[in-house]
Amino acid sequence: MALAGLDVGTSGCKGVVFREDGTILAQSYREYPFITPQPGWLEINPENIWQSVLDSLQEVVEKTRDTIEVIAITSHGETLIPIDKTGKALYHALANFDTRAHTYINYWLERGDPYSYFQITGMPLHGMYTVNKILWLKDHCPEVFEKTWKFCCVEDFIIYRLTGNEPIIDYSLAARTMLFDVVEKQWSEKMCRLADVDPKNLSQVSPSGRIAGTVSPSVARRTGLSSSLLVATGGHDQPCGVLGCGVKNPGEAMYGIGTSECVALNLGNKPFLSRDMMENRFCCYPHVEENSFITLAYIASGAAVLRWFRDEFGYEESEKSAKTGESTYDLLLKRMPDKPASVFVLPHFSGSGTPYLDEKSRGALVGLTLATSKGEVVRAILESLTYEMKMNLDLYEQFGLPINSLRAIGGGSRSRAWLQIKADILQKRLLIPVTGEAVALGTAMLAGMAKGIFHNVDEAIDAMVSFEDTIYPNPDIQTHYQPRYHIYQKIYNGLKEVNDSISNLTRDEL
């Protein structure tokens, strides 16, 4: 039986079809462009997302002889897509790392105690959450706000478009709106009242791995999918990745290395909603595994920083790639020196992630000399992203959540050179799943559970997850990285005042 996971990310859509043993039968990818009308604004045309979904599904149908019987949907979080009763998107999708709604933190501070919100929503105050984008829409585009039938995220938007039924969102993605009660597993009456959002204008909530409907006749004709294809709830991409790389024991965690970077771990069946968690901006919300909770540490920009460097400074490598077929990224990584860099990159190109959640922070390249090479800057990007994550993992240790091994997934997990840098800085083992498409795999596992192929998470993991390699840290290089890590820890605070001023200057000129 063929199971499919549809992974709708910030920059592209990926469809992957699996056998019940985890073998990939077919996959496809479609990229869509960002729209950046102002500094800090990040939009996506919802129709580009939808067309990419259709094209991706059509391609995997053409590539596999097996009939896909069930598909589940995973997506990035926080993105807002307002739609009317015909399903038409009324505005560009306000993407997860769009910073325009940062001022609404004050809105919440004026109305209550941040810790009281955290105990309901599991989300520390931040402008990226969907509710703040809704508030921005209400204040700046009232005509759109009034016409909106449903304030969707991406998963429920795609499920609605695939089935024609009411939009359905799973618990994990609903939590990323900051309107969801993570303990009661329902839209929070208090948060909706404070935001002046009617719960009727939000999607129906559901556990992950539940049937949401069958594919509509028009979608079946457009893509070649079976008209009896079942569509199931998946979840937020990070917890789907946790499931897809087989995390189920204490001390294990997923390390997602993609457009953004994320380390996520299963907290078990009790929410961890301490004040320390909130003050360090760590979230706690429902996992895609029923009756479990998850937390995550993340870097907002992640591999997007390397993508930026490739696009702006990798012309030579791009030309060579076009001639030889070798990846531009691989060509850039080949330029790296063997030794740790003495140059540092503050990777806050979309603001910071945890533990600061500082939307005013900006990227920086620190320590340049006339001897600095392109390759050293490439290495500095990879190292600095890892220093940033190490600060988060050190905090987890302090909170009694030690991590001894990481399962590396995402595009960055295909580079052994990058993974070795991470293992050496973090001094932790990195396990490499057989499939690098763990987010899609976890989503397909949920599809299998919705169909009744698997009775529980453990059964799905045992059937579909396996590992091909382990990257071990080199203890000898730790002496080189320790002083560099100590330097890196000073950069954010050292530049905070400057970055605040730059952020305000840019905003004042709009």
Instruction: With respect to residue 473, please indicate whether it lies within any of the assigned structural domains.
Output: no
From the number of C-beta atoms within 10 Å of its C-beta (0-12, 13-18, 19+), residue 155 rates as: buried
Query: In the numeric block, which tokens belong to residue 129?
Result: 């959450």
H helix intervals, 275-339: 275-279, 304-313, 315-324, 328-333
Among candidate residues 457, 481, 29, 424, the one with its CA nearest the CA of residue 208 = 457
- CATH number of the domain within which 228 lies: 3.30.420.40
pLDDT at 39: 81
Residue range 96-110: mean pLDDT, rounded: 92
Residue 125 vs residue 248, higher pLDDT: 125
pLDDT tens-digit series, residues 431-490: 999 987 899 999 999 999 999 999 999 999 999 999 999 999 998 998 999 999 999 999
CA–CA separation, 270 vs 509, rounded Å? 47
What is the average pLDDT score of the chain? 94
pLDDT at 506: 59
pLDDT at 34: 87
Among candidate residues 237, 365, 255, the one with its CA nearest the CA of residue 302 = 255
> What is the H or E stretch that residue 220 is in?
helix 217-223
pLDDT tens-digit series, residues 375-417: 999 999 999 999 999 999 999 999 988 898 899 988 888 899 9
Return the percent helix, strand and coil in the chain, to nearest 5.
40, 20, 35
Residue range 265-278: mean pLDDT, rounded: 91
Where does the pLDDT of residue 357 fall: very low under 50, low under 70, confident under 90, or very high at 90 and above? confident
Instruction: With respect to residue 228, please indicate whether it lies within any of the assigned structural domains.
Output: yes
Instruction: With respect to residue 332, please indicate whether it lies within any of the assigned structural domains.
Output: no
Q: Which pairs count as long-range contacts for 368-371, CB under 8 Å and 24+ apart, including other chains?
A: 368/343
Give the torsion sign (CA, 73, 76, 80, 81): negative
Instruction: With respect to residue 139, please indicate whether it lies within any of the assigned structural domains.
Output: yes
Instruction: With respect to residue 245, please indicate whether it lies within any of the assigned structural domains.
Output: yes
CA–CA separation, 121 vs 130, rounded Å? 12
User: Per-residue pLDDT for 153 more than 80?
Assistant: yes
CA–CA separation, 217 vs 62, rounded Å? 18
Give the torsion sign (CA, 433, 437, 438, 442): negative
Instruction: With respect to residue 284, please indicate whether it lies within any of the assigned structural domains.
Output: no
Asked whether 321 and 462 are in contact (CB, 8 A), the reply is no
User: Per-residue pLDDT for 510 more than 80?
Assistant: no
User: Per-residue pLDDT for 123 more than 90?
Assistant: yes
- Domain of residue 211: give its range: 2-250+435-468
Question: Helix (H, G, I), strand (E, B), or coil: what is residue 257?
Answer: strand
Instruction: With respect to residue 306, please indicate whether it lies within any of the assigned structural domains.
Output: no
Query: In the numeric block, which tokens belong to residue 68?
Result: 């896909």
pLDDT at 507: 58
- Looking at the structure of the chain, the number of domains it has is 1
Residue range 336-360: mean pLDDT, rounded: 93
Among candidate residues 464, 84, 85, 469, the one with its CA nearest the CA of residue 248 = 464
From the number of C-beta atoms within 10 Å of its C-beta (0-12, 13-18, 19+), residue 184 rates as: exposed
User: Per-residue pLDDT for 509 more than 70?
Assistant: no
Unique residue bearing structure tokens 């597993």: 185
CA–CA separation, 437 vs 28, rounded Å? 11
pLDDT at 160: 98
CA–CA separation, 33 vs 20, rounded Å? 34
Asked whether 264 and 254 are in contact (CB, 8 A), the reply is yes
Instruction: With respect to residue 376, please indicate whether it lies within any of the assigned structural domains.
Output: no
Query: In the numeric block, which tokens belong to residue 400?
Result: 């009694």
H helix intervals, 314-456: 315-324, 328-333, 374-398, 416-426, 438-451
